[in-house]
Chain A
């Protein structure tokens, strides 16, 4: 008993409870096993996703036509609570920048944060090294707009308005100010894909964008596009979801049958 008290004190379990730690351990196990499976030949298969299929087909057409592709990374930065969303945006940037360099097309990227800008520059540089091309190939413009959400959305909209694009993508954390970007695209008849983890903005994206990545769809885009290792974490997500849903169903039954006291 004393040992448990010491352990719970050392691990701050008294304050946060044991559930988050257990969940983290389960997540780690599921992630490790599924990633190892994804590394081997037993890689999980994924269903077709209309939003991501749309993204792939329009980016392919843009490469053929030499059209400009646009990407706006939503508010958020690395090293904060929004790191996951920012990383997903950077993963898409990697995919788009490699295509822009290989097919010598234009890519316009708007970022809302200084750390994201530095990371985005790293992604582009890495893409150039991977493809073996210097700056003479692929016109990639990274523009830092503003960390203020409203100013960011207006900056992106005013930058897109005169230039236009073959495809516009908005990925990350967006509030209702997304409408400034979405409506500019709609007004200019620019095909657009949008994805957010912000629940309140999803209905707006659903009605404005041609295709919307709803909630967790956004986190799966890397697995669909160019990163087979993401399939491992995608499978881990499914395992964790199964555990969560089973726990909820079990809890409901437990309480409904009056077993919980």
Chain B
């Protein structure tokens, strides 16, 4: 309603609801923090299995929290994200390359029609992406562009339509309370 109708009362109600959600979110965050301290603090105190992991977690929490309280955009808190968090994330994400290779290997030995189509398309696109391939066969980049522009785009648009319609239908079910599995 607030999205579709421009009205002062609705705008005010919408603002109050958003602010209420923010306050609840902040309180929930505090509760979560206390729960985290209780669970992992207990593990460290009782020397349970993997307690050093809990200790590292608590130390990281206090350091990041402390630096965040001093200032979110201070050089020291930025340093943590720039030199610890981002490189760690990038390192873990780079492992996906190996997982993609094993997944592709498994898919391409399935001996089904879909796997054959997938294999032919993958190899073709791989070859067509090589720089300077047009010198060997000038039509190759054109065919690659056509594959991307026509079958790939058509397939993706079909999927996007389906997802959008599914989202609308699910949204309407929630709005009209015909589906409320989480409300008790």
Which residues of A come within 8 Å of B, CB atoms? 9-12, 21, 27-28, 31, 35, 78-79, 83-85, 87-88, 90-91, 93-94, 114, 119-120, 122-123, 125-126, 129, 150, 154, 176-177, 179-180, 182-183, 186, 197, 199, 202, 204, 206-208, 214-216, 218-220, 222, 227, 229-230, 232-234, 236-237, 240-241, 244
Does B38 make an interface contact (CB < 8 A)? no
Residue tally, chain B, CB below 8 Å to A: 44
Whether the Cβ atoms of B99 and A180 lie closer than 8 Å is yes
Closest to A196 in B: B163
Closest to A232 in B: B178
How far in angstroms is the closest Cβ of chain B from A64? 25
Whether the Cβ atoms of B166 and A219 lie closer than 8 Å is yes
Whether the Cβ atoms of A219 and B182 lie closer than 8 Å is no
Closest to A180 in B: B99
Whether the Cβ atoms of B169 and A219 lie closer than 8 Å is yes
Whether the Cβ atoms of A219 and B21 lie closer than 8 Å is no
> Given the known A-B contacts A83-B171, A208-B106, are A12 and B3 also in contact in the complex, defined by CB atoms under 8 Å?
yes
Task: Name the one of B93, B160, B171 contacting A150, with C-beta atoms under 8 angstroms.
Answer: B93
Task: Name the one of B21, B107, B163 contacting A216, with C-beta atoms under 8 angstroms.
Answer: B163
Question: What CA separation (Å) do A241 and B160 show in the bound complex?
Answer: 12
Q: Rank and list the top 6 A-B pairs by shortest CB-CB distance, nearest first.
A: A219-B166, A216-B162, A207-B107, A119-B182, A84-B170, A233-B169
Task: Name the one of A11, A183, A215, A229 contacting B163, with C-beta atoms under 8 angstroms.
Answer: A215
How far in angstroms is the closest Cβ of chain A from B14? 13
Q: Which residues from B are CB-within-8-Å of A237?
A: 165-166, 168-169
Q: Which residues from B are CB-within-8-Å of A177?
A: 93, 96
Whether the Cβ atoms of A186 and B168 lie closer than 8 Å is no
How far in angstroms is the closest Cβ of chain B from A78? 7
Q: Which residues from B are CB-within-8-Å of A202?
A: 159
Whether the Cβ atoms of A240 and B184 lie closer than 8 Å is no
Task: Name the one of A35, A90, A154 contacting B178, with C-beta atoms under 8 angstroms.
Answer: A35
Whether the Cβ atoms of A204 and B100 lie closer than 8 Å is yes
Whether the Cβ atoms of B99 and A183 lie closer than 8 Å is yes
- In residues 70-127 of chain B, which contact A (Cβ within 8 Å)? 89, 92-93, 95-96, 99-100, 102-104, 106-107, 118
> Given the known A-B contacts A183-B102, A218-B166, are A94 and B181 also in contact in the complex, defined by CB atoms under 8 Å?
yes
Q: Which residues from B are CB-within-8-Å of A123?
A: 181-182, 184
Whether the Cβ atoms of B163 and A241 lie closer than 8 Å is no
Q: Which residues from B are CB-within-8-Å of A227?
A: 179
